[in-house]
Chain A
Amino acid sequence: MAATAIAIVRSRKLFAAVMLSGIFSLIAAVFYVHLTAVDVAFTEAAVGAGISTLLFLATLALTHTSTEEPHKPVRPLPLLIVVVTGAVLIYGTLDMPAYGDPEAPPNTHVIPRYINESGTEVGVPNIVTSVLASYRGYDTLGETVVIFTAGIGVLVLLGRGRRRWRPGLKSKNEDDEPGRGAEA
């Protein structure tokens, strides 16, 4: 996974970078299965690796971007910022609970109740589903509001005003919009 990330940083072709980000998402999904987060893996594979890559490719097609970038040397100031931030974050991890520790703070608070009671209280065997739809239902409502707003934003940005500007791109626009409806 780290190798793919570094390949993305180093790749000069835009198309390659987009494809690598799809591969990156897919590897992340496999990793989630290993971490027993099957629902997340499913979503990541479908949404992260599928729809995101599709959207990026649609943008590449719409903007007709030249795929070959001139070679740029490693820039010292951003690299310095990144290295310093990374070092501070790694220093911060020294206080974190160890991987897989059942006594870690995130695993000891509300979670036992979800695990013990959700079967009788909600009646769905999948705990993730019952937490998502029942205990944290408002979260999910907020999520749909965000997606709705984003959908409206996309429609406004790529909507009628744009077509008046560039009648040549009209048909491409219309191809693009149904995909956005499906993702909500």
Chain B
Amino acid sequence: MNVLGLFNYWIVVILMMAGFYVVIAQENMIKKLVGLNVFQVAVFVFYISMSKIDGATAPILGDEFEVYANPLPHVLILTAIVVGVATTALGLALIVRIRDAYDTVEDDEIQRIEETEA
């Protein structure tokens, strides 16, 4: 089996797990969102690397080209990037609101405040 041909997937897995670790281990919510972004980019890289074909050019039609990269993942990821930013904006707005209510953006401190109030 061609192990080198799977190298791109391993990079994706490493990036994905780095983002995942930030999301579940960090207390700071802004940091969590940064981690979520890293995770997201890892998924994008996964899709785009599947669309790569050896010796292919960018999928723009021209007379001198024969082989084109797969355009469908490009389209899907184009959509996903923009949607990703929209969700990030929503998450950040929520963080601003949380900080208004609790005066902190640290997960554990909010937990403590909740417990003392209850």
Contacts and interface: CB of A to CB of B under 8 A. Distances in A.
B6 A43 contact: no
Interface string B72-84: 1111111101111
Contacts of A6: 18
B74 to A, nearest CB: 5
Nearest to A166: B100
A151 B53 CA distance: 37
B72 A21 contact: no
A143 B24 CA distance: 28
B100 A150 contact: no
A155 to B, nearest CB: 9
A119 B27 CA distance: 51
B113 interface: no
B83 A146 contact: yes
Interface string B1-29: 11011111111011111111110110110
Contacts of B35: 8-9
B68 A127 contact: yes
Interface in A126-157: 126-128, 131-132, 136, 139-140, 143, 146-147, 150-151, 153-154, 157
Given A18-B34, A75-B25, A150 B90 contact: yes
Given A24-B41, A51-B85, A78-B25, A107 B53 contact: yes
Given A37-B51, A79-B25, A102 B90 contact: no
A35 B69 contact: yes
Contacts of A146: 83, 86
B110 interface: no
16 contacts: A2-B15, A18-B34, A37-B74, A43-B81, A93-B9, A99-B52, A110-B72, A114-B71, A125-B60, A132-B75, A147-B82, A150-B89, A151-B89, A153-B90, A154-B89, A183-B82
